[in-house]
Chains A and B, each alone.
Chain A
């Protein structure tokens, strides 16, 4: 009897082992989230303005600049250890040209800005725009292809192989059949300036999507207006359509419009909120902005929006692209959504562009604090200040009040996320806005591991 019991143990043990295997089995499904790694090399293209400012968050190892096309090296426009102002127009000369800047260094965060006042043919406006690096997707709302409102794309190939782009346009009537917009080739090491009127003439308002299909190409967009509202602006793109778009930097009076692009296939119903100094509110007349599928719509911002400082929050039921334009007497500025940044965003200060105001918005439910550092040409910190941004509010920071800007060439605005912002420049009645983006100190990269 006892022996039989022992024998019966054998199948029981087997069953136990099977149970163990069924319940404790492992899986090799492992998510490996991307991680931040220091950027070793930044490469960007500068074009579209007369002046150039280059610099970095921390000193790099090396830096060089060359003209595209041609590859002629340009001296004294970039220094891995300093903040440098130079004459971009003189360096480039005439024609479709860009300046390619390569900066190397571990996490040094090299950036460049195009600055200055453009000629009368290009709106006679003040521009301050960051030199773009390789772009995957660039979405714009509010450019034009009319005689007096013209958007220009400066496409610079950063590599030694041809780049291929697709440019898609939307008008208020729907998608524009842009001949030549698909499969646009930018030859290796060259720069191509593309006026949107070449693709679709006569549209006062356009939505634009530039998609890189092959190669490495930088895209800079210049919005010029030579009509009643004169001015020019280097426009930063949105990376992708979003359901929530926050356009920071609304300030001042003038003709203010909101342009919304709906590239989707269903009508977008968007409501607009104003994130003012005292918190968010819904302005009258913007309860619902309807945008037909595959079209772009421009609406005037009512007076109820106020004169700022404020940010516009567009909340849509489908992903959209939006921008806001403020056209005053002498110039226009364009507000874009480049997202909240984490880390340090560099703002050029002094010289032709003067000292900007920062318009910082915390669109979320929590208040945020940003740290401002005034830095000299040698990248050394000269002054420091902290600014609190209440939740759902916008604050205007007069840099000259919070920092001693004597000998300061740039301001590093540090944020731990949750804040969007714009540097608003004014000079001689002209204005420009620069969306704050983190300097490329580190980058999220997929986890790479050797295959087993």
Chain B
């Protein structure tokens, strides 16, 4: 049915011209005075004018009625009361005007091209079964973007145009074709069919009336065609919310109700029941998603729509009866007119892409994506012609893309592996098999760890569970993204902070990239320190929210309790992965409070929220300050003491063997010190330096104090990667704020030297990062905490390390080891003591009793990965321990001849409820503090700047809004 419109077609004289059919034009206006001058002007330029005109004004309060009276005369204007829907208005007009062959429906915010009606009639008279014809609709005021070339609807009830957002009209859709429906703006409909189908449905006063009519037309055996040579320009005032609302207007939530009503009233056969359930569940899920994504109004609309449609089955039944009366074909016969089944999923993908695009929005205002009525396009008249290269127009977008590409290169050895391989090694725990394992870990009363445990897990588990739920069977994706894309992620958050600090676009890009690279340069990624990575990504956001709390964020709304709660949420996110974020944030808050004591109450509120979200888990950390340093992950010692570690602290390194050379950060220090010389920005620079000193103080504290874990006599050097990263962030910020005023106005040599010093960190570190990669000890494979055959047994294995001379360390591992997030869980103290006692007896005077003690603890095997000969011999001599195969020459395995399965400790029954309560708290906190998106209002609408006809530009600055 598709026919290409050619010049020859256009040149041929259609038959109708000899005996033109009569056309009655119906213009419905409602507070459209803003657009009517141009709309009415376009009517007067029509090459083929309608036979008769009728205007229905629906309770306009602007100058619209005057304009139409002036244009058509008072006798051609009908006045409808407030609340009259579009269909009802048209019905009033049809009743008041002489009968014509065709009806042409017009909006007060749509300009018609001079040849529009003629082109519509060309298509309308081409075949006897054509009942409805619609024009090609372009955007007003851009005039070049396509809005619609026919309509259809997806199975989820979303109006679908099949066009890309912002797609310019270059004739690519100029095919006359059958479609399900056309917009009522410019719709030409056969009068007899109109009468047969009883016009637009009175149940659909504003939205989806066109889809509904087209659907009924199709089922009645007629066709709806698109006439691409007929062009109108539509401002879509109601959909965009730019039409001033008045009493009696259709509520915004009506759109979703109309969608549900249309879908359920028109779907026939058994498919109806499927749609009935699907749309109900889908709408509820959508409402939940909207709540979570801080669209409370839209969520309310969803629920209201569901209540309206599903709560009034009688109205739905009546509507279905009416449609059945006129239907001559079943749904299957018109199925080809509907959107393909996969389109909703494509929209989901587009949404995800939009989220990513939003992250880089600071430097890239335009968005892309498939156009649907869910899109809220702006009214900016963005030029479509080719401009400068992309890296000039959107340097940040290009930078992020480059960082992502470099991240993949740096992580080359970690991208692929055997089927069941995961990222493992270093401090990284075991990635669970599915997101469900993290949810289970969060809610369970007895943890699946060696010897069993009932401890509280970090809220990091909850956050990981939430993040991995969309990729349920592959939670490793979340871990891989966080670790492998750590640099671009940190750069993104730093850049958000940078926007608040300076207007120098390129400077802040260099600064953000430098900070992002600090994460990799610290060695945190290579060591699998997920906690550090997440904390360093979150740190700039904490600073941003601190600025918001202080009311000094130039890009944010006024400070309120909401910003304080938001600060608490982000502090909690960081502290959940790295508890040391909490004291760091506290110190930062103290500085802010010292600068403005009025903020104390607000900061206390934020702190309270953070503690509430972190829950009772944080109490354990508070009681044992040594645990402040233990982040999400296995306890891996920090850097060796000495100059290398100490000097690295000021440039974001913490002494990891895998860190970048410290000298790469010299430029950062030089610039930060130089920034102090700037008088203009001294106050801000001093604040940055104060924060850096506080961070450095925390880091130094970690280095000089012996670290340790309660319940063990083992001291572990603290890992101070997070405070070191905070120092680098603060010093970098000092340089960002303080250096530009210093070099402004100076010679090129100064600027050049400064640029060179500034680029040393990002360029040098990037080169080091890409060459070294981010593996080792991080690798892709399966965890090798215990040999694979022991893992398969799924039982508890005692892992013995150390030597006789220096002492032995023992731990009990279940399966492959603790899940990510469960590394901090410990078995009950009594079990640990019993274990130590049993192993001590086993290696001193091996006897049946010692083995039996192990068995009583539920231990199934003993594994010594790098065994001391004396220990191995002692264990060999133990009755009841059977030597088993090992995976390396230096390792030994013994299995217990008679393992037992003792009862595991269980937390109180209220523990899952506590976990659920915390989930609820997080939910409430996030929903309350997320930036709320509201519907655009007429007050937000920019003035029109239109150029209908391709050349005439009309300024309408004086239009009342």
Instruction: Report B633 CB to chain A, min CB distance, Å.
Output: 13
Query: Residue B803 at the A interface, CB < 8 A?
Result: yes
Cβ of B709 under 8 Å from chain A: yes
Give the docked Cα–Cα distance between A42 and B847 (Å). Answer: 8
Residue-wise, chain B 699-720 has the 8 Å CB interface mask toward A (1 for contact) of: 1100111111101111111000
**List of A residues within 8 angstroms of B873 by Cβ:** 136, 212
Determine the chain A residues whose CB is within 8 A of the CB of B637 once the complex forms: 28
Q: Which of B845-862 contact A (CB under 8 A)?
A: 845-850
Q: Could you tell me the dominant secondary structure of chain B's interface residues?
A: mixed
Whether B877 lies near A159 (C-beta < 8 A) is yes
Question: Which residues 206-223 of A have a CB within 8 angstroms of B?
Answer: 212, 214-216
Task: Evaluate whether A452 and B716 lie within 8 angstroms (CB atoms) in the complex, with A17-B696, A21-B649, A33-B805 already known.
Answer: yes
How many residues from B make CB contacts under 8 Å with A? Answer: 76
CB pair A34–B805 under 8 Å, yes or no, is yes
Cβ 8 A contact of B809, one of A27, A134, A450: A450
Q: Mark B611-641, 1 if CB is under 8 A from A, else 0.
A: 0000000000000000000000001010011
B686 interface residue (CB < 8 Å to A): yes
Q: Does A201 contact B (CB under 8 A)?
A: no
Collect the chain A residues with CB atoms within 8 Å of residue B193's CB.
none
Residues of chain A within 8 A (CB-CB) of B642 are 22, 25
Q: From the candidates A26, A39, A447, name the one contacting B715 in the complex (CB within 8 A).
A: A26
Q: Nearest CB to that of B699 among chain A residues?
A: A21
* B919, CB-defined interface residue at 8 Å: no
Which one, B673, B832, B846, B847, contacts A450 given CB within 8 A? B832
- Are A216 and B878 also in contact (CB < 8 A) when A161-B883, A451-B809 are? yes
Chain A: which residue is nearest B638 at the CB level? A28
- Given A11-B676, A450-B835, A31-B806 contact (CB < 8 Å): yes
Interchain CA distance A18-B643 in the complex, whole Å: 8
Chain B binder among A74-82, A324-332, A366-374, A437-445: A437-445
Minimal beta-carbon separation of B705 from chain A (angstroms) = 7
B711 partner residues in chain A, CB cutoff 8 A: 450
A158-B805 CB under 8 A given contacts A19-B646, A22-B646, A42-B845? no
| Given A7-B682, A25-B646, A449-B713, also A216-B846 (CB < 8 A) | yes
Name the contact of A452 in the complex, choosing from B692, B693, B708, B806 (C-beta under 8 A): B708
Q: How many residues of A contact B (CB 8 A)?
A: 50
Q: How many residue pairs at the A-B interface have CB separations less than 8 Å?
A: 199
Question: B700 contacts which chain A residues (CB < 8 A)?
Answer: 17-18, 20-21
Majority SS at the chain A contact face: mixed
Contact A14 B692 (CB under 8 A): yes
Check B841 for interface membership: any CB of A closer than 8 A: yes
Considering the complex, give the chain A residue whose CB is closest to the CB of B673. Answer: A11
| Residues of chain A lying within 8 A (CB to CB) of residue B840 | 37, 445, 448
**Which residues of the partner chain B approach A42 to less than 8 Å between Cβ atoms?**
845
List residues of chain B with CB within 8 A of the CB of A386.
none
Give Cα A41–Cα B845 distance, bound, in whole angstroms: 7
Bitwise interface map of A from 34 to 70 toward B, beta carbon under 8 Å scored 1, else 0: 1001011111000000000000000000000000000
B879 at the interface (CB under 8 A from A): yes
Question: Are B879 and A159 in contact, with the CB atoms below 8 A?
Answer: yes
B772 smallest CB distance to A (angstroms): 25
**Are A445 and B844 closer than 8 Å at their CB atoms?**
yes
Task: Name the distance in Å between B730's Cβ and chain A's nearest Cβ.
Answer: 11
Is the CB–CB distance between B807 and A449 below 8 Å? yes
CB-contact partner of A28 in B676, B693, B716, under 8 A: B716
Chain B residues lying within 8 Å of A449, measured Cβ to Cβ, are 712-714, 807-810, 836
| Distance from B272 Cβ to chain A, minimum over Cβ atoms (Å) | 63
**Is B843 in contact with A26, judged by CB distance below 8 angstroms?**
no
Given A28-B717, A134-B846, A214-B883, also A450-B712 (CB < 8 A): yes
With a cutoff of 8 Å between Cβ atoms, the chain A residues found around residue B682 in the complex are 7
**Chain A contacts for B707, CB-based, 8 A:** 26, 28
**A160-B879 contact given A26-B704, A136-B873, A452-B714, CB 8 Å threshold:** yes
Q: Which of A26, A30, A452 contacts B705 (CB 8 A)?
A: A26
Binary CB contact string for chain B from 923 to 946 against chain A (1 if under 8 A, 0 otherwise): 000000000000000000000000
Least CB distance, B211 to chain A, in whole angstroms: 65
Residues of A within 8 A of B693 (CB): 10, 13-14, 17
Query: Would A450 and B836 count as touching, CB distance under 8 A?
Result: yes
Find residues 814-859 in chain B having any chain A CB closer than 8 Å to their own CB.
832, 835-836, 839-841, 843-850
A159 partner residues in chain B, CB cutoff 8 A: 877-881
Question: Does A179 sit within 8 A of B, measured CB to CB?
Answer: no
A24 within 8 A of B: yes
**B462 at the binding interface (Cβ < 8 Å):** no
Nearest chain B CB to A131 CB, angstrom units: 16
Determine if B704 and A21 form an interchain contact, defined as CB atoms under 8 angstroms apart: yes
Task: Judge whether B877 and A134 touch: CB under 8 Å.
Answer: yes
Check: A1 CB closer than 8 A to any chain B CB.
Answer: no
User: Do B676 and A451 touch across chains, with their CB atoms under 8 A apart?
Assistant: no
In the bound complex, CA of A28 to CA of B699 (Å): 17
Pairwise interchain contact B835-A32, C-beta atoms closer than 8 A: no
CB distance from B118 to the nearest CB of A (A): 78
How far apart are B818's CB and chain A's nearest CB, in angstroms?
A: 12
8 interchain residue pairs of minimum CB distance: A25-B641, A32-B807, A445-B844, A447-B807, A22-B646, A216-B877, A41-B847, A451-B811
**Which residues of A come within 8 Å of B, CB atoms?**
7-8, 10-11, 13-14, 17-22, 24-28, 30-34, 37, 39-43, 104, 134, 136, 158-161, 212, 214-216, 440, 443-452
Pick 19 A–B contacts, CB within 8 A, sort by A. A8-B676, A10-B690, A17-B700, A18-B646, A21-B649, A21-B703, A22-B641, A30-B714, A30-B715, A30-B807, A31-B805, A37-B841, A40-B845, A104-B847, A104-B849, A215-B876, A446-B808, A448-B839, A450-B809
